[in-house]
Structure formats: C-alpha cells, structure tokens
C-alpha cells in the first residue's frame, strides 16, 4: 500500500470522527450547554489519556514545566472549542466546517507576531484568497450575520492560536504531556464556566453515551490526522481533509434537512485554494 493510500485511509478515519463529533454535539445540546459539554468531555478525556499513558509507559512524559505556555494554549483551545460547539448547534454544519478551514490562514497571519516567522508575498496572496472565501461563505450583511456565523469564524482564529502555541510546546514537550494538560485545564475551565451560577446539568442516561462519543471522537480525529501527516506531506493530506465539507453537508441534509448551498462550496473552494497555495509554496521552499 502506497503512502498516499495509507494517508487516505487515516483521513477517512479523521473525517468519520469529526463528523461523528458534530452529530454527537448536536445530540447533547438539548440537555447541556457548551461549557457543560466541555466539562464532561474533558473529565472523560483525562481518564482516557492517563489510562493510555499508563499502559504505554508514556506517563513519564508528563512534566510540570512550561505551565504558562500550556495555560495560554488551553485557554485558546477552550474558547475555540466552545465557539465551535455553539456554531454547530445554531447554523448549518457545512458553514461551520467551511469557516473552520480558515484556521491555516490565521496561522499564516498570526505566526509572524508570535513565532517571529516571516510572512511572504505568496503567503499574503494565499491569505487574501482565503478571506475572499470567508466573505462568500459568511456573506456578511446586517440582515445575514448571526451569532452562530461569528462563532464559527471566531473558532478558527482561536484554533489557529492553539496550533501556534502547540508548535512552541512540541519543541520541548511530548504529546502525552500536551494532551494531559489540555484535558486537565479544560476540565477546570469547564467546571468554573458551567458552575459559576451553582447549576451544572448532569448528563442523563440517554445523553452520557453521546458525551463519551464526543470525547473519543475528538481524540481519534486528531490521532488520525496526525498519522496521515506523518505518512504523507501536507500538500497531499489537506485536499483529503477538505472531503469533510461535502461529507458534513450530506449529513446535514439527511439528518437535519439543511440545504446544500452552492455559495458555501464556492467559498470553501477559495479557502482551500488559499491554503493549498501556501502549503505548496512552503514545500517548494523547504526543498531548496
């Protein structure tokens, strides 16, 4: 089996996991708000991470250093994930996924400010193409903008910040340490945010399995994506990742009677083009 085929298999797993997480998120929203979803998801995540780390011996990677950087990363991820859960509840799933795909564009623009990486002319062109796609997907006007659209656009910014801080952490920290502090701090954030009013809803017997699905699907999705990127270059993997958009659009149509909007696909195509130009340019530079 070729590397491209192996990467495609892993990406199919990632697409299924991301889609499953979106469906599960909508299913639990009738009982839990986004903070409560994050609280229980993170508590389950702690158990899963520690169990796997203990079984594999990777628990030695958990080190209590770089706590400030862990905190900054996880505040961004907690904010982005809450915005994402709010968006999938309030607007069509295809719009959420299309706007989420702008995360690499934001990484491109924010990296010079945080990582002191240089923004090239090609990178700027790629960003402008991506933003044209955002405008087509969101179609911002006073009568069309909604909190859900703003949340979907905002989650991409915070996911980009998460990716940038993750890049800094991976220079010295192992994946087990990063995942442990991710789940631990987000459980604390979720507890404080959900419990500030003294009223935290507990998942019912019908909802709890969906919360477990959210926790497992999130870990599986990122594991599959990481495996695909370790096998094949980003210029190969990223087009496969964009299969998520038509997949989630079909799911939204079948399960939730959401319309298939051509403008969403047109905007997503521009977002994809901007990302693809930047990745191909980065690959060409790396080969020199």
pLDDT tens digits for range 225-269: 878 877 877 666 767 777 888 888 889 999 999 988 888 888 888
Residue 39: predicted pLDDT: 93
Q: Is the pLDDT of residue 58 over 90?
A: no
Query: CB–CB of 26/252 below 8 Å?
Result: no
Backbone angles phi, psi at 130, to 5 degrees: -60, -40
Q: Is the pLDDT of residue 79 over 70?
A: yes
Label residue 199 exposed, middle or buried (CB < 10 Å: 0-12, 13-18, 19+): exposed
Query: CB–CB of 240/279 below 8 Å?
Result: no
Closest C-alpha among 274, 280, 268, 269 to residue 234? 280
Residue 71: predicted pLDDT: 94
Tell me how crowded residue 270 is: count the other CB atoms within 10 A of its CB: 20
Residue 218: predicted pLDDT: 85
Residue 210: predicted pLDDT: 95
CA distance 107 to 91: 24
Q: Work out the pLDDT band at 286, boundaries 50, 70, 90.
A: low
In terms of average pLDDT, the best of 88-92, 267-271, 282-286 is 88-92
Backbone angles phi, psi at 66, to 5 degrees: 55, 30
Q: Is the pLDDT of residue 78 over 90?
A: yes
Q: Is the pLDDT of residue 118 over 60?
A: yes
Joined tokens for residue 245: 């958009």
Residue 186: which residues within 8 A CB-CB, separation 6 or more?
Answer: 38, 41, 42, 45, 74, 77, 78, 81
Question: Across residues 63-77, what is the average pLDDT?
Answer: 90
CA distance 23 to 251: 9
User: Poorest-confidence range of 44-58, 59-73, 85-99, 123-137?
Assistant: 123-137
Query: CB–CB of 211/203 below 8 Å?
Result: yes
Question: Across residues 149-162, what is the average pLDDT?
Answer: 92
CA distance 136 to 268: 8
Residue 151: predicted pLDDT: 94
Q: What is the DSSP letter of 198?
A: S
In the block, residue with structure tokens 């991470």: 49
Residue 69: predicted pLDDT: 92
Dmax (CA) of the chain: 59
Closest C-alpha among 23, 177, 153 to residue 80? 153
What distances in angstroms separate CA 274 from CA 129, 154, 238, 244, one per listed residue?
A: 5, 19, 12, 17
Q: Is the pLDDT of residue 187 over 60?
A: yes
Residue 134: predicted pLDDT: 82
Residue 284: predicted pLDDT: 60
Residue 184: which residues within 8 A CB-CB, separation 6 or more?
Answer: 42, 46
Q: Which residue has the higher pLDDT, 181 or 244?
A: 181
CA distance 169 to 178: 8
Residue 222: predicted pLDDT: 78
Question: Across residues 87-111, what is the average pLDDT?
Answer: 87
Query: CB–CB of 90/148 below 8 Å?
Result: yes
Q: Work out the pLDDT band at 176, boundaries 50, 70, 90.
A: confident
Q: Is the pLDDT of residue 279 over 80?
A: no
Q: CA angle at residue 209 from 206 to 215, to 5 degrees?
A: 145
Q: Work out the pLDDT band at 142, boundaries 50, 70, 90.
A: low
What distances in angstroms separate CA 259 from CA 102, 240, 244, one per listed residue?
A: 22, 23, 16
Question: Across residues 179-191, what is the average pLDDT?
Answer: 92
Q: Which residue has the higher pLDDT, 19 or 199?
A: 19
Q: CA angle at residue 178 from 173 to 182, to 5 degrees?
A: 155
């Amino acid at each position: 089996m070729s590397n491209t085929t192996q990467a495609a298999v892993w990406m199919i797993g990632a697409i299924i996991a991301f889609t499953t997480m979106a469906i599960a998120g909508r299913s639990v929203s009738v009982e839990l708000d986004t903070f409560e979803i994050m609280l229980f998801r993170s508590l389950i995540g702690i158990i899963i991470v520690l169990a796997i780390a203990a079984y594999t011996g990777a628990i030695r990677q958990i080190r209590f250093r770089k706590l400030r950087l862990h905190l900054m990363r996880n505040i961004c991820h907690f904010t982005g994930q809450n915005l994402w859960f709010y968006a999938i509840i309030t607007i069509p799933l295809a719009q959420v996924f299309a706007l989420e795909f702008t995360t690499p564009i934001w990484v491109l623009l924010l990296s010079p400010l945080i990582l002191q990486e240089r923004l090239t002319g090609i990178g700027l062109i790629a960003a402008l193409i991506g933003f044209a796609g955002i405008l087509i997907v969101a179609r911002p006007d006073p009568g069309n903008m909604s909190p859900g659209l703003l949340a979907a656009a905002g989650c991409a910014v915070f996911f980009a910040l998460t990716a940038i801080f993750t890049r800094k952490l991976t220079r010295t920290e192992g994946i087990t340490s990063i995942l442990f502090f991710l789940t631990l701090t987000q459980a604390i954030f979720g507890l404080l945010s959900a419990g500030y009013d003294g009223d935290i809803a507990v998942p019912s017997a019908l909802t709890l399995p969906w919360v477990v699905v959210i926790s497992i699907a999130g870990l599986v999705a990122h594991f599959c994506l990481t495996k695909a990127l370790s096998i094949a270059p980003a210029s190969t993997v990223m087009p496969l990742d964009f299969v998520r958009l038509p997949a989630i659009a079909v799911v939204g149509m079948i399960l939730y009677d959401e319309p298939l909007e051509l403008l969403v696909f047109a905007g997503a195509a521009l977002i994809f083009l901007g990302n693809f130009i930047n990745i191909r340019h980065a690959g060409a530079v790396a080969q020199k």
